[in-house]
Amino acid sequence: MSLAWLLYLALGAVAGVLAGLLGIGGGLVLVAALVWLLPTQGVPAEQAVHVALATALASIVLTGLSSARAHHRRGSVLWPTVAWLVPGLVLGGWLGSGLATSLDGAWLRAFIAVYCYLAAAQMALDWPRSRLERADAPRGPGYTAAGAGIGAVSALVGIGGGSMTVPLLVWRGVRPVRAVGTSSACGVAIALASAAGYALQGAPQGLPAGSWGYVFLPAAVGIALASVLTAPWGTRLAHRISGPALRRLFAVFLAVVGTSVWLAP
């Protein structure tokens, strides 16, 4: 087995734990790592960010399914809320991937880094403040509209939307662990729509063999194989960590990833 495949599997293992723990599908850490790794696999430097985004999102499909299944078995997925969010998530994910392919890699890298810092600050400050916990599942057309924005931004930064979906749901009174579980299910829809957009909306010449559009399949498959095995571990951890501790962990994670993307060549 080549060193590259070992790295893909290691990345997938980390992404799987993060998917279950934070509801993010590990997308941000994948993008940060792939931006550094892909140029060594024949991806032109000017396309590395685009391919990293597409590949991370493609792998999140299986990671998100594994994480959502584990959360569902623990009763922490609010499926009525998912149903209202998904139409917007799919539309936003498709449109966001189309926009990303038209942007220069340097602009995309800067956007990802700034997004990480803003999301880290939001989580650390716990803003907007959580409301009193509610027993019902949030629903309504407002969530479909919010889903469109979440899907578009997620496609631009290579995530399953957890750093937006989780705060939204917590603000609406959902317990953090249930917000994470619901976000994991939503991430599958985002990843499917976004990855399809990156794969089908065309890609430049010069990408290495094994590329489908902007998706580098060897990396996506290797990451997904490991992540589906480790996502349930993250789910178990999420049910053992308090809400404030989970937010602080999320904030530190995002700040580190943002710095890594910013410093990428």
Print the domain residue range for 230.
Answer: 3-263
- The pLDDT confidence band at residue 190, using thresholds 50, 70 and 90, is very high
What phi-psi label fits residue 210: left (phi over 0), alpha (psi between -120 and 50 degrees) or beta? left
Residue-level pLDDT at 79: 96
Q: Give the range with max mean pLDDT: 10-19, 86-95, 132-141, 166-175.
A: 86-95
Cα–Cα separations (whole angstroms), residue 182 to 127, 242, 261: 20, 17, 27
pTM to 2 decimal places: 0.87
- The pLDDT confidence band at residue 34, using thresholds 50, 70 and 90, is very high
- The pLDDT confidence band at residue 23, using thresholds 50, 70 and 90, is low
DSSP-assigned letters across all residues of 109-121: HHHHHHHHHHHHH
Based on the structure, what is the number of domains in the chain?
A: 1
If you average pLDDT over residues 104-130, what whole number do you get? 82
d(CA 123, CA 167): 8
Residue-level pLDDT at 129: 64
d(CA 153, CA 167): 15
Looking at the chain, the whole-number percentage of residues with pLDDT higher than 90 is: 39
Instruction: Please list the residues that pair with 211 across neighbouring strands.
Output: 216
> Position 102: which residue type?
S
- The pLDDT confidence band at residue 214, using thresholds 50, 70 and 90, is very high
Residue-level pLDDT at 156: 95
